[in-house]
Amino acid sequence: MSYSFDRIVLMATICVFGDSTAWGAWDLEKGGWVNRLWLFLAEKDQDAELYNLSISGGTSETILARFENEAKIREADILVFQTGGNDAAGEHTEDNYQVPPDKFKENLEEIIRRAKKMTDRIIFIGFKNVDEAKTKPVPWRDIYYTNKNIKKYNEIMKKVCVEQKVLFLDLFGILENKDLDDGVHPNTKGHQKIYERVRIFLMDNKVI
């Protein structure tokens, strides 16, 4: 996508809102791709504060309900949203979406509308692929994650981002099944792959 920023903001405050993947489950080595990004910024001695405000089970609904207050109190310059996976998951059946497609689209549009009141530096990150041998349903809950539905929601997100002229990074297909210990959450190697893709994307677009 071609909406790169004109320049890097010095002493930027970056807030990341997402689900358990953004939160860092289950990277027992460095705490997830967001924390790896924080370590990179710290090692570069770059004047940037990065806050990981992700929660397990997060959806576009939970982001919409809380991100404004949490971003404002931290005086965020850059907002990063990773969502879609839990929205696309089906309760009891594959297509009984936790957040229906139309509502998901509305939520994204409203998140962007509110975010633009704070900053024009907005990035959305789509959900990665899953190992369906372990996710139909997942062992810990009667909920289904399918690659078909994740791709569908990623496409909705991409379309909204194009229309609203905000950055979008598609991570679908980046991971192999061996990078997903429980089928949904990346392990240490999976988080490293996501981190590297996100870091390069943010650098290429002059976010960091």
Q: Taking the model in full, what pTM does it have?
A: 0.94
Domains for the chain: give ranges and CATH numbers. 12-204 (3.40.50.1110)
Note the pLDDT of residue 48. Answer: 87
- Confidence band, pLDDT 50/70/90 cuts, at residue 130: very high
pLDDT, tens digit, 9 for 90 and up, residues 174-187 = 999 999 989 999 99
What's the sign of the alpha-carbon dihedral 25, 187, 86, 38? positive
Over residues 67-80, the mean pLDDT reads 97
Q: Concatenated DSSP letters for 23-79? A: HTTT-TTTS-HHHHHHHHHHHTT--EEEEE---TT--HHHHHHHHHHHHHHTT-SEE
Note the pLDDT of residue 8. Answer: 62
CB 126 within 8 A of CB 84: yes
Q: Is the pLDDT of residue 4 over 70?
A: no
Q: Is the pLDDT of residue 132 over 80?
A: yes
Q: Is the pLDDT of residue 63 over 60?
A: yes
CB 167 within 8 A of CB 1: yes
Over residues 115-123, the mean pLDDT reads 97
